[in-house]
Structure 1
Amino acid sequence: MGSGEMVHRGSLKKASPGKATILALGKAFPHQLVMQEFLVDGYFKNTNCDDPDLKQKLTRLCKTTTVKTRYVVMSEEILKKYPELAVEGLPTVTQRLDICNKAVTQMAIEASQACIKNWGRTISDITHLVYVSSSEARMPGGDVYLARGLGLSPETQRVMLYFMGCSGGVSGLRVAKDIAENNPGSRVLLATSETTLIGFKPPSVDRPYDLVGVALFGDGAGAMIIGSDPVSGIERPLFELHTAIQHFLPDTEKIIDGRLTEEGISFKLARELPQIIEDHIEGFCDKLMEIVEYSDKKYNKMFWAVHPGGPAILNRLEKKLDLLPEKLNASRRALADYGNASSNTIVYVLEYMIEESLKMKMKDNQGDSEWGLILAFGPGITFEGILARNLIV
């Protein structure tokens, strides 16, 4: 596994007393880098499939997803050791979990280590752990293995969030915010880790929707440190988490449908998903924006850290809210560089958001918008949103 780290510039704005802030970010990836232009031939070779129609469809999808590169746990070595993973209908959940449980723990450890290094304080200062994954299943859960792998104190208070899909990263951030604000002096490590290997399958004419996932999803891990009242001169707050809300849409449970089967996890995303998000996004965002008196549709006064579920979702959100194209730059860059890495992706978006803000400041001595929204959409259908302040602008 390989890790990435980012050295953050010092903050220029002070955080509000008692409000949770993101104090550091970190990320990590498996070693296997997949270039989108070579994905189709490699996937069909590895699964011993020669269906020209399916191959043509995946080729089209790979272009429309806008993904350029992704990291994946799956490798030729794994397929040589477990050839049954590429065979239709074989029970392989045991083999998949043996691989995935270890892989997500290792990536989570590396992302957390990168985050702690960026934070600048010692690991013994972490008081709480929130762990998010939709790619493993075991008891005890991955939170215990992550805590042990990092060397956290046995008294570290842990929370697990399993199978929340793409909304998991922002869900975890909401939980971490509550913990930080209700436990003065606490420092919460939020870690997310995902791999698509848990649902890897050969192409099938009976499951054409599987090809969307093949063209879109990637693997990796992300981490954040969250705490209130940053220590001056030591901690550098990046974003203040002002208000968090969650909303689920009744009767949409089958729109994002995931099931753990004998062949791993099977996902099905309905075609209506982008339209449903478009239909409800305005009202959801307005609830958060009213708090800072931006209720009169001043969407372009905000920054937008949106989980890039796919280009269709970003395009519809941009059109519905009449956003300037640059408002979703961070989301589009994360999608191009890492694919949709489920719960992890919001970490990558926030890193790019910081980079975009610093570029803007150096360009015209003014930062990007101070207030903004951190958004993600997951099974339920569930909307997760956080009203945030950019403390680097």
Structure 2
Amino acid sequence: MGIEDAVHGSTIVTPGKATILALGKAFPPQLVMQEFLVDGYFRNTNCDDPDLKQKLTRLCKTTTVKTRYVVMSEEILNQYPELVVEGLPTVKQRLDICNPAVTEMAIEAAQSCIKNWGRPISDITHLVYVSSSEVRLPGGDLYLAKGLGLRPETQRVMLNFSGCSGGVAGIRVAKDIAENNPGSRVLLATSETTIIGFRPPSAERPYDLVGVALFGDGAGAMIVGSSPEPSIERPLFELHTSMQHFLPDTEKIIDGRLTEEGISFKLGRELPQIIEDNIEGFCARLMDVAGYSEKDYNKMFWAVHPGGPAILNRMEKKLDLLPEKLNASRRALADFGNASSNTIVYVLEYMLEENKIARKEDQKGNEEWGLILAFGPGITVEGILTRTLAV
């Protein structure tokens, strides 16, 4: 079957194309309500700066986040009080917490995904693991494989420090593996925690408060493979065409560094504007593959990594998208915050849920063709032209 058949409404999987066969997610036990975050953060960091507190209060409202999950707890702060002392070298302590925490969450998300998939874990042939929250050798991919009980011959790929674009980058890599290894089944897992960059508030680093108000922890997983087994597997999305593009001379806009105090991030104020200025051309190249033009934005579904409300608002305005087109992204942001590489899994799950509700109510639901998008350090844009197959 060719692209022409698919455009006209068929939900038959295109031969040779990778599909997402199952999704899964996991979170740490601490649920943070955004309305209580400010008081808790300043109490835990022993800070009483009223100006910084007021600034964080404003940011917490503008992020549109309502709830988040975090690894950080009072028990951890009691065990590692140096985490809230400015200037102390704490990278070892942070990694002692982060490395096992992200592995535990990744294992839980992968197990949930494998259960949803319905095939035995021994059928997994490849593992792609994404995280910007751990540093060790061997990498977390080995610890994840061991924790899950994957076969020793499972082929592994580790993607470190891809930031918010890491989830879609991982899908792109899993897609390539699946399409170039017939019969393979790729487990993609992502896992992140903000402890690696947790710091006390400082007037010298006001931009840190954006991260405090926006980011959350968690893990995501999916199984990717081509030629689904019809009696067992239920393909959810077809990954038709992938693309990556970096914007020259924008390396400092998302600037992250591993220091003695953990990871420090700086997000340029101009990030939403840069994405707005470049998103049309990138999307046009992917949409053209399916025979769509710039006039057809609202004929597609949009699974966009919610880096923040400003990015979603700029995209919606630039592409003249109907408000409901970014519903899943906005819901994921509100419920989980920006959980970096994981968040695209949560967006895709919400899209499937909304489609199911629409079908029950005898509504049309989302369109068959759509784009999966994310933006990360570089500035790097990751995109995948996708068909929904869950009917």
Q: TM-score, normalised by structure 2?
A: 0.97
* Structure 2 residue 378 is the aligned partner of structure 1 residue 388: no
* Structure 2 residue 107 is the aligned partner of structure 1 residue 112: no
Q: What residue in structure 1 maps to residue 119 of structure 2?
A: 121
Specify every segment of 5 or more residues in structure 1 that has no aligned partner in the other structure, as ranges: 1-11
Q: 298, 301, 308: which one pairs with 1:300?
A: 298
1:45-104 residue CA offsets vs partner (Å, 9 max, x unmatched): 000000000000000000000000000000000000000001100000000000000000
Distance in 2 (CA, whole Å) between partners of 1:365 and 1:14 is: 21
Distance in 2 (CA, whole Å) between partners of 1:287 and 1:88 is: 47
* Structure 2 residue 354 is the aligned partner of structure 1 residue 356: yes
Q: What residue in structure 2 maps to residue 227 of structure 1?
A: 225
Q: What residue in structure 2 maps to residue 184 of structure 1?
A: 182
Local SS of the residue matching 2:361: helix
User: AA paired with 1:355?
Assistant: E
Q: What residue in structure 1 maps to residue 375 of structure 2?
A: 377
Distance in 2 (CA, whole Å) between partners of 1:14 and 1:283 is: 29
Distance in 2 (CA, whole Å) between partners of 1:315 and 1:366 is: 25
User: AA paired with 2:236?
Assistant: L
Q: What residue in structure 2 maps to residue 7 of structure 1?
A: none
Q: What residue in structure 2 maps to residue 141 of structure 1?
A: 139
Matches within 5 A, 1:163-202: 163-202=161-200
1:297-351 residue CA offsets vs partner (Å, 9 max, x unmatched): 2100000000000000000000000000000000000000000000000000000
Kindly indicate whether the alpha-carbon contact (under 8 Å) linking 1:22 and 1:226 is maintained by their aligned counterparts in 2.
Answer: yes
Distance in 2 (CA, whole Å) between partners of 1:100 and 1:173 is: 23
1:155-178 residue CA offsets vs partner (Å, 9 max, x unmatched): 000000000000000000000000
Distance in 2 (CA, whole Å) between partners of 1:198 and 1:329 is: 30
1:10-48 residue CA offsets vs partner (Å, 9 max, x unmatched): xx9321111100000000000000000000000000000
* Structure 2 residue 287 is the aligned partner of structure 1 residue 289: yes
Local SS of the residue matching 1:333: helix
Kindly indicate whether the alpha-carbon contact (under 8 Å) linking 1:361 and 1:368 is maintained by their aligned counterparts in 2.
Answer: no
Matches within 5 A, 1:224-263: 224-263=222-261
Distance in 2 (CA, whole Å) between partners of 1:368 and 1:377 is: 23
Distance in 1 (CA, whole Å) between partners of 2:17 and 2:290 is: 15
Kindly indicate whether the alpha-carbon contact (under 8 Å) linking 1:100 and 1:135 is maintained by their aligned counterparts in 2.
Answer: yes
CA drift at 1:365: 4.5
Q: What residue in structure 1 maps to residue 40 of structure 2?
A: 42
Work out the percentage of aligned pairs sharing the same amino acid: 83
Local SS of the residue matching 1:298: helix
Distance in 2 (CA, whole Å) between partners of 1:288 and 1:204 is: 43
1:80-139 residue CA offsets vs partner (Å, 9 max, x unmatched): 000000110000000000000000000000000000000000000000000000000000
Q: CA RMSD in A?
A: 0.8
Q: What residue in structure 2 maps to residue 273 of structure 1?
A: 271
Distance in 2 (CA, whole Å) between partners of 1:34 and 1:84 is: 22
Specify every segment of 5 or more residues in structure 2 that has no aligned partner in the other structure, as ranges: 1-9
Distance in 2 (CA, whole Å) between partners of 1:365 and 1:99 is: 47
User: AA paired with 1:244?
Assistant: S
Distance in 2 (CA, whole Å) between partners of 1:392 and 1:110 is: 24
Q: What residue in structure 1 maps to residue 5 of structure 2?
A: none
Kindly indicate whether the alpha-carbon contact (under 8 Å) linking 1:93 and 1:261 is maintained by their aligned counterparts in 2.
Answer: yes
Kindly indicate whether the alpha-carbon contact (under 8 Å) linking 1:240 and 1:390 is maintained by their aligned counterparts in 2.
Answer: yes
Q: What residue in structure 2 maps to residue 203 of structure 1?
A: 201
Local SS of the residue matching 1:30: coil
User: AA paired with 1:79?
Assistant: L
